[in-house]
Structure 1
Amino acid sequence: MGLAGRTMVVTGAGRGFGRALALQAGRSGARLFVSARSLEAARRVADEVAADSGATVDAFACDLADPAAIRAFAAGVAARTGHVDVLVNNGARYLAGPDLGDADDDAIADTVASGATGTLLTAKHFLPLLRASAGADMVNLVSAAAETRNHRSEAHPAFYAAKAAQAGFADVLAHRLRPEGIRVISLYPPEFTDGDPLAPSWQEASRTADDPLTAQSVLDCVLFAIGQPRDCFIRSFHFEQV
């Protein structure tokens, strides 16, 4: 099943992977709801998507570290549609610094809240809309940092903690929602480059194993998984790292 006519929600859509996914989804015929921490950033991407593909897009401000903001976001979407076919949990704060003391307490709390609690509450408040779909998918952009003993990233330990919690939540949710036909798909990419979501396809085709992973390649994995027939449950994507 493709995205034509399907309703998709993308968090953290103000830049990077979220923006790239929104642009591609719009080109594929999806009806979109995008959020970013600032309404200005969400509206900028919504306008870009609409200009690029003519897709219908609504923009929302949603700070994933704020439970009230998540509830308001879900309520705003519910006021505009009776179902959501694809929920993409992409938004999360990245925090750099290998030493635990490299960040203050507020930054640590915000990182864990946006990546872990934010994903859980977004899933919770969008679940009624997912259950109203004829075939729903929840996609979680986790991170290779959540893989056991994967210490390649220079991210702060708080980011590792947030992503490990997100991975554990996604795993149990995939098991518990499968009887309802709701697929929960998690991706564990290493750090990747944003790339250009509007680049010609020949540029992507010319990439080699020596090139760094791009947002387009991760995006293609998402589109592949949600495009499978409903009897195909792809639990996760893990990426080989050199």
Structure 2
Amino acid sequence: MMFEGMRVAITGAGRDTGRLLAGEFAARGAHVYASARDSAAAAATADPINREGPGSAEAFGCDLADPESVRGFAAALAARTGHLDVLVNNGAAYASGPGLEDADDDVIVSMISGAATGTTLLVKHLLPLLRASARPDVVNLVSGCGEPGHRRSTAHPAFYAAKHAQAGLAGILSHRLRPEGIRVISLYPPDFVQDGPRTAGSMLTARSVAECVLFAVGQPRDCFIREFRFEQEQTSLRPVPLEGAS
């Protein structure tokens, strides 16, 4: 199996793309440390993995917006393993709405502190475990909202701010950690759907995003894939015809 014996930590693993990634890594033999703000949701991801194999999983509560929770998750991993092969920074709070007033203050604080501060602290505290790995990777599910000039999402401005901060972290870490052999891989998908047809004219799916992650992590160690950039689905790029036009 491609990832047999690998140790993989995934944030935001209680649902959607994080849960999918946990299952895909485990299906290839990895041991997954699945974290979520709701520990019961993380357990709901880990339990079927442990029943079905071939990989295995452990569940953890980790609120990325709470520094103490982040440090606790990192300490729990250090107590269980001497190394970490892959850290997937997937967890991030989300809100939609074009105006700053479309989200309460506490929602804005949670979005920015989780994706920006929380991700930064988690990488910091897990670096000793990553450095102890023979094949360390840090994978960041950033979002197209972290790309300069991106304005196509319905996400709240604070989500854009959080993802630009995460993109800045990923960029400098890729440069500074490469001499140590730590690959930093970032994905910038546009708004995507969890399920749907995987055709050229359809929206990007979570499974396609997950397969990009698996592909990058599976490459030989001389292959440093820094970023995945995506075109948006083509239907949204077509001009809207004027009324009465044919």
Alignment partner, residue 200 of structure 1: none
Q: Distance in 2 between matches of 1:207 and 1:173?
A: 32
Deviation of the 1:29 alpha carbon: 0.1
**Secondary structure at the counterpart of residue 79 of structure 1:** helix
Q: Identity over the aligned pairs, expressed in percent?
A: 59
Q: Distance in 1 between matches of 2:202 and 2:49?
A: 28
Q: Distance in 2 between matches of 1:46 and 1:178?
A: 32
Q: Distance in 2 between matches of 1:238 and 1:162?
A: 18
Alignment partner, residue 42 of structure 1: 42
- Which blocks of at least 5 consecutive residues in structure 2 are unaligned? 235-246
Q: Tell me if structure 1 keeps the 8 A contact 2:42–2:60.
A: yes
Q: Tell me if structure 1 keeps the 8 A contact 2:49–2:55.
A: yes
Q: Distance in 1 between matches of 2:51 and 2:171?
A: 37
Moved more, 162-171 or 94-103: 94-103
Is residue 198 of structure 2 the alignment partner of residue 207 of structure 1?
yes
TM-score, length basis structure 1: 0.94
- Which blocks of at least 5 consecutive residues in structure 1 are unaligned? 197-205
Moved more, 136-145 or 50-59: 50-59
Alignment partner, residue 224 of structure 1: 215
Alignment partner, residue 202 of structure 1: none
**Secondary structure at the counterpart of residue 185 of structure 1:** strand
Q: Distance in 1 between matches of 2:111 and 2:230?
A: 24
Q: Tell me if structure 1 keeps the 8 A contact 2:112–2:161.
A: yes
Q: Distance in 2 between matches of 1:133 and 1:50?
A: 24
TM-score, length basis structure 2: 0.92
Deviation of the 1:129 alpha carbon: 0.3
Q: Tell me if structure 1 keeps the 8 A contact 2:143–2:190.
A: yes
Q: Distance in 2 between matches of 1:50 and 1:195?
A: 24
Letter in 1 for 2:228: F
Letter in 2 for 1:82: G
Is residue 228 of structure 2 the alignment partner of residue 234 of structure 1?
no
Deviation of the 1:104 alpha carbon: 1.4
Higher relative CO (Cα under 8 Å, sequence separation at least 6) belongs to: 1
Is residue 201 of structure 2 the alignment partner of residue 194 of structure 1?
no
Larger Cα Rg: Structure 1 or Structure 2? 2
**RMSD value over aligned CA atoms?**
1.3
Alignment partner, residue 177 of structure 1: 177
Letter in 2 for 1:236: E
Q: Distance in 1 between matches of 2:98 and 2:141?
A: 22
Count of residue correspondences: 233
Q: Distance in 1 between matches of 2:35 and 2:161?
A: 24
Q: Distance in 2 between matches of 1:177 and 1:64?
A: 22
Alignment partner, residue 14 of structure 1: 14
Measured against aligned partners, the alpha-carbon deviations of 1:158-209 in whole angstroms (never above 9, x if no partner) come to 000000000000000000000000000000001111128xxxxxxxxx7311
Instruction: Describe how 1:1-242 pairs up with structure 2 within 5 A.
Output: 2-195=2-195, 207-241=198-232, 242=234
Letter in 2 for 1:173: L
Structure 1 segments, 4+ long, off by >3 Å, are none
Deviation of the 1:54 alpha carbon: 4.1
Measured against aligned partners, the alpha-carbon deviations of 1:11-58 in whole angstroms (never above 9, x if no partner) come to 000001000001111110001101000111011110022223242211
Q: Tell me if structure 2 keeps the 8 A contact 1:23–1:52.
A: no
Q: Distance in 1 between matches of 2:150 and 2:17?
A: 22
Letter in 1 for 2:191: E
Q: Distance in 1 between matches of 2:55 and 2:215?
A: 21
Q: Tell me if structure 1 keeps the 8 A contact 2:28–2:54.
A: no
